[in-house]
Amino acid sequence: MTRIAVLPCDGAGKEVVPEAIKVLRAAGADFEFQEYDVNADQYMRTGEPIPPSTWTELQLADSILFGAVGDPRVNDSAYLAGVLLRLRFELDLYVNLRPARLYDDRLSPLRREDRRAIDLLIVRENTEGLYVGMGGRFKAGTEDEVAIQEDLNTHLGVTRIIDYAFGAARREVVMVDKSNAMTHAGALWQERWKAVAKRHPEVKTRHLYVDAAAMQLVRDPTQFEVIVTGNLFGDILSDLTAELIGGMGIAPSGNVNPETKRGLFEPVHGTAPDIAGKGIVNPIGAILSASMMVRHLGHTEMAGAIEGAVRSAIRDGECTRDLGGALSTSEVGDAVVRRLRD
Ligand code: IPM
Ligand code: MN
């Protein structure tokens, strides 16, 4: 029996994850779902982002279905670091997959119709870079303060993420860095990029600095198939690509380790405190993340069926207001479910 650990967490996450589960069940996913109490209330009560017994179970789960973490009442970085970043780092989920596919032309913010066939994948390094939390503050709070944030890049880490990107591409991989200004880390990325590319002569390669990549993504996103990049640049560019396909509410992601097969699947959006709790948040990002999860677990047909149902609901205007519809969060879940049953 496939065991899915469910972590809805906070805010909008609590509203969208039940919709994703509803859709999975309708799609015929015969999984055991176990929900865990990992959220801001629990953290404020116990001081522990993830209770030790929960951690043990999360390590044993086949996959984790995740909502979003964060709460206006908790302005302490230990909470975020102790939940999402800990899971990414300690389960070694080194590949962050952030696909961007435009499901309907009307969702594109681009004026030109020939720039709308967007179907790209950002392969974001997920366990290193500027996210490792190394560094510190010296003479904090004084006018002499020094703050250092280390950018950690390893031979193994850079090699394996570039390798994964080649495996995911049919046509071309674009490597994105800032090696003109960040020369130490940049040189390692460049070296590993060239070495790995040699092993994949059938795939075309291109390199872009991150500033140029941002520009090209807006100018003509249809030119991209697979983009591989470091942790921070991948974070930033994937918000940009989310906006190209209809906004934060629609973009899915998967954090995976291709060797252990572990995975954590989550919408790219956060807890959305401004609109959470009103029944209006868009569950599509979470539903598409669930379809990425079943694809990762080997249920390719089921994943395709969910994506098809989502596409049809969007095209028929059965969506939340951020996509121009008038449905509630759970009505969108129902609209997708209905299409799976048809
Ligand atoms: C994301 C989020 C996280 C990140 C935050 C919440 C730490 O923005 O998943 O994109 O930066 O990775
Ligand atoms: Mn982000």
Q: Which atom of ligand 1 is nearest to the CA of 253?
A: 9
Question: Whose atoms come closest to the Cα of 264: which ligand?
Answer: 1
For residue 182, what pLDDT band results from cuts at 50, 70 and 90? Answer: very high
Q: What is the pLDDT of residues 62-77, one digit of tens each?
A: 999 999 999 999 998 9
Whole-number pLDDT of residue 116: 87
Residue nearest to atom 10 of ligand 1 (CA): 235
Whole-number pLDDT of residue 279: 98
Res. 10: pLDDT tops 90: yes
Which two three-digit tokens encode residue 53?
Answer: 């017994």
Measure the CA–CA gap between 47 and 69, rounded to whole angstroms. 15
Q: Which atom of ligand 1 is nearest to the CA of 68?
A: 6
3-state DSSP assignment of residue 44:
helix
Residue nearest to atom 3 of ligand 1 (CA): 235
Measure the CA–CA gap between 69 and 87, rounded to whole angstroms. 12
Whole-number pLDDT of residue 79: 97
Active-site residue (options: 41, 119, 211, 316) = 211
Amino acid, single-letter form, for residue 167: G
Whole-number pLDDT of residue 295: 98
132-141: long-range pairs with CB below 8 Å, 24+: 132/89, 133/81, 133/85
Active-site residue (options: 151, 177, 235, 334) = 235
Largest alpha-carbon pair distance within the chain? 66
Residue 294 and residue 252 in contact, taking contact as beta carbons nearer than 8 Å: no
Whole-number pLDDT of residue 220: 97
For residue 115, what pLDDT band results from cuts at 50, 70 and 90? Answer: confident
Active-site residue (options: 164, 178, 322, 334) = 178
Determine whether the shortest distance from the Cβ of 80 to ligand 1 is under 6 A.
Answer: yes
3-state DSSP assignment of residue 136:
strand
Average pLDDT rounded to a whole number, residues 19-42 = 98
Whether residue 36 lies in the annotated active site: no
Which two three-digit tokens encode residue 161?
Answer: 């993420």
Res. 34: pLDDT tops 90: yes
Whether residue 235 lies in the annotated active site: yes
Whether residue 278 lies in the annotated active site: no
- From first CA to last CA, the distance across the chain in angstroms is 27
Q: Which atom of ligand 1 is nearest to the CA of 235?
A: 10
Residue 163 and residue 196 in contact, taking contact as beta carbons nearer than 8 Å: yes
For residue 342, what pLDDT band results from cuts at 50, 70 and 90? Answer: confident
Residue 44 and residue 73 in contact, taking contact as beta carbons nearer than 8 Å: yes
For residue 195, what pLDDT band results from cuts at 50, 70 and 90? Answer: very high
Question: Whose atoms come closest to the Cα of 98: which ligand?
Answer: 1
Residue nearest to atom 4 of ligand 1 (CA): 235
- For the ranges 112-116, 197-201, 297-301, 327-331, the lowest mean pLDDT is seen at 112-116
**pLDDT above 70 coverage of the chain, percent:** 100
Sort strands 146-149 and 172-177 into parallel, antiparallel or unpaired.
unpaired
Whole-number pLDDT of residue 204: 98
Measure the CA–CA gap between 54 and 42, rounded to whole angstroms. 12
Active-site residue (options: 71, 131, 151, 322) = 131
Q: What is the pLDDT of residues 240-288, one digit of tens each?
A: 999 999 999 999 999 999 999 999 999 999 999 999 999 999 999 999 9
Question: Whose atoms come closest to the Cα of 81: which ligand?
Answer: 1
Q: What is the pLDDT of residues 74-103, one digit of tens each?
A: 998 999 999 999 999 999 999 999 999 999
Whole-number pLDDT of residue 322: 97
CA trace torsion 324, 327, 328, 329 (10° rounding) = -70
Residues 6+ apart with CB under 8 A from 89: 127, 132
Whole-number pLDDT of residue 136: 97
Residue 21 and residue 33 in contact, taking contact as beta carbons nearer than 8 Å: yes
Determine whether the shortest distance from the Cβ of 235 to ligand 1 is under 6 A.
Answer: yes
Q: How many C-beta atoms lie closer than 10 Å to residue 21's C-beta? A: 22
Q: What is the mean pLDDT of the chain?
A: 97
